[in-house]
Chain A
Amino acid sequence: MWGSYGRRMSRLDSDVPVVSAREVTKTFGSLTAVDRVSMEVHPGDVYGLLGPNGAGKTTFMRILFGLIRPDSGDLHLWGTSVQPNPVAALTAVAGFVETPQFYPYLSGRANLKLLAKLDGGESRHRVSDVLETVQLADRASDQVRGYSYGMVQRLGVAAALLRDPSLLVLDEPTNGLDPAGIRDMKALVRQLAEQGITILLSSHNMSEVDEICTKVAIMRRGQIAFDGSTQELRGRADRATRQLDTTDNRQALALVEGRAGVTRAKLQGGMVIFDADDRTVEQISRELVTAGLAIGTLNAPTTALETLFFRLTEPRPEEDAA
């Protein structure tokens, strides 16, 4: 009999994209939550869907799960369209959108048993295993209403693993977890990826995606602002945002503003803020001293990747004006 590993490996060899979205659009009234999104997730990818709150990540995931219908465009899972028959397309898919939800008056174990039944009943003998996996075995008999946010999140992962998926879709999986929980969740995702499970996860945390994912799409106002490997993304992230405080910040701004390699220079909160790479910053600091300005502060509060993320996702001046 084919095991799950064999099935996954077979799918890893397949040329058919796990997720293939073409011009997917969804509007709610006057708001276009997902705007002509096209993307592909391939077998074995750990794909991060990154964007600030309201960027359209969750709406896209709901479309992927067949929970909402797109106004236009197609979304296929292993070549099978999610609409009009999500159950067929979602056969080997599991995960959760936003906070996982369960019946509060039932125990964690009873909830998983019900879900196993809705999956056909074959996975019910694995309920204890997955509870053990997410470290909820001790609290499995307690009603879910007594669970902390982090415990519900872990129960959500357990419910997903119960389906033995080939594609695991996780919407901000580290939300609400304590530092140890975040570490463990990241390790779990990595280990599941090593087992051949394709992973699509959303996050608004750039460093988290950089750490876990092999590919990334950055969403902004419903559209894809970047789609490529994390390596490509790092290649584009050459400049970090700098904070500069000197004895005369107006003179410092004038000196910084005109330089090649400097972008987005402005005075903000009494400090000079600008984006530049390390080499340019070295030259600027030498010139400031030559100009007789004493440097009080010169630091980079965000990494180059975060700076790129903000650059890609923050509203543009023309949009603010509109």
Chain B
Amino acid sequence: MSLTSTISSPSSQRQSTTELRRPGAGTVFTVEMRKILGQTKTRAIAVVLVVAPWVFILLVLHQDRLPLETLYGRYLKVSGFATPMVVLVTGAQWVFPLLASVVSGDMFSSEDNHGTFKTILTRSTSRNAIFWGKVLAAVAATTALILLLGASSLLAGLVTVGAQSFVDVGSGGISAAQGLGMVAGSWASVLPPIIGFAAIALCVSIVTRSSVLGVVIPVVVGLVFQMYTFLNAWDTVRHSLLNTPLNSWRGLFDHPSYATPFWHGLAVSAVYTVLFLSVGYFVFRRRDVTEG
């Protein structure tokens, strides 16, 4: 059969492309989500995030020592709610920024690597829609993975230890329902700074066109921020770092509670997100696609 044998008849009443609805960011979002789910990398990360908390709590339950130096570490055998809290405290150090980077750090640069920018930019979708669709997909995928880890940790703790009463940050006793609320609230509170890290990764991915740098740079930035907090340096700088909001939930669940760090962290996260997405947007809108 030759290439020409099945070309549709010229008289066919196919719908004209001029009559088509122009796809927006929502369409790009669904396309990107389909691509993310089609990647072996994403599935592998999801499996690790589901399995890791179970392995962790099972190992802890089968040893005498507890991670006492970690907040809530001493309660791991007391209440199932301690498992997601320990995972949260530990994950906030570097796992969450890493997750955000792995998902978002090649969202744009993978198109450079595959040479596919020219493929998608010559369809009926504007650069504007492509940018925001990709940003939405990166945020959604990162959020989904973080929540997957949280849900798996909670389930692992409840199944292996149980839903016993718990303690708040000030060591005051709380009911199981309050414990559940604290787990949900604290995990939700880390999402804004994580989205900030995702914005850094997206920006680096656009500017450098390198997946490696898109993944590595936000993690390095997170580590540098972390090292700064260990120093006895300016508090003003420490409060403006993106890793500080990762711990801002502690005030919400202290006794008495205080919300100022949380609101401050929310503002810091918003500034990082807007700043880095703005730079990324500006560069992406103006860039020449010369590769591929």
Contact = CB atoms under 8 A, between A and B. Distances in A.
Say which size band chain A's interface belongs to: 35 or more
A4 B116 contact: no
Interface string B262-281: 00000000000000000000
A149 interface: no
Interface stretch (A190-198, A211-219, A290-298): A190-198
Given A1-B13, A135-B3, A100 B119 contact: yes
A3 B40 CA distance: 41
Contacts of B8: 126, 129
Given A87-B124, A165-B17, A5 B10 contact: yes
B76 interface: no
Interface stretch (A88-96, A250-258, A265-273): A88-96
Among A95, A103, A161: residue with most chain B CB under 10 A: A103
A161 B12 CA distance: 14
B119 A117 contact: no
Given A132-B6, A164-B17, A103 B116 contact: yes
Interface string A80-120: 00000111001111111111111111100010001101111
Interface in B25-81: 27-28, 30-31, 34-35, 38-40
B255 interface: no
B139 to A, nearest CB: 20
Contact of B27 (A95, A99, A110, A121): A121
Interface string A237-249: 0000000000000
Contacts of B126: 85, 87
A159 B1 CA distance: 20
A187 B13 contact: no
Contact of B14 (A62, A85, A94, A126): A126
Chain B, interface SS category: loop
B232 interface: no
Interface of B: 1-8, 10-23, 27-28, 30-31, 34-35, 38-40, 114-126, 286, 288-290, 292
Contacts of B1: 135
A68 B289 contact: yes
B4 A188 contact: yes
A91 B114 contact: no
Given A97-B118, A115-B123, A134 B292 contact: no
Interface in A162-221: 163-165, 184-185, 187-188, 191-192, 195-196
A3 B2 contact: no
7 contacts: A66-B121, A69-B286, A103-B114, A114-B35, A122-B15, A161-B7, A163-B17
A184 B2 contact: yes
A97 B124 CA distance: 16
Contacts of B125: 87, 118-119
B14 A121 contact: no
Given A5-B10, A104-B114, A110-B38, A98 B4 contact: no
A282 B116 CA distance: 55
Among B6, B17, B20: residue with most chain A CB under 10 A: B17
B107 to A, nearest CB: 13
Contacts of B34: 114
A269 B275 CA distance: 64
B123 A118 contact: yes
A3 B10 CA distance: 9
Contact of A188 (B3, B40, B286): B3
Contacts of B16: 2-4, 7, 92, 164
B8 to A, nearest CB: 6
A191 B116 CA distance: 28
A67 B111 CA distance: 14
Contacts of A121: 21, 23, 27
Contacts of B10: 4-5, 8, 195-196
Top 6 A-B pairs, shortest CB-CB distance: A120-B20, A101-B115, A184-B3, A68-B288, A67-B289, A118-B123
Given A91-B17, A105-B38, A119-B125, 12 more contacts: A1-B15, A4-B15, A68-B290, A96-B118, A101-B292, A102-B119, A103-B35, A118-B23, A118-B27, A133-B6, A164-B16, A188-B3
Contacts of A110: 38
A163 B6 contact: no
B288 A120 contact: no
A2 B13 CA distance: 7
Contacts of A47: none
Given A67-B289, A184-B3, A118 B31 contact: yes
B6 A129 contact: yes
A85 B10 CA distance: 29
Nearest to B122: A65
Contact of A115 (B3, B17, B119, B288): B119
B23 A191 contact: no
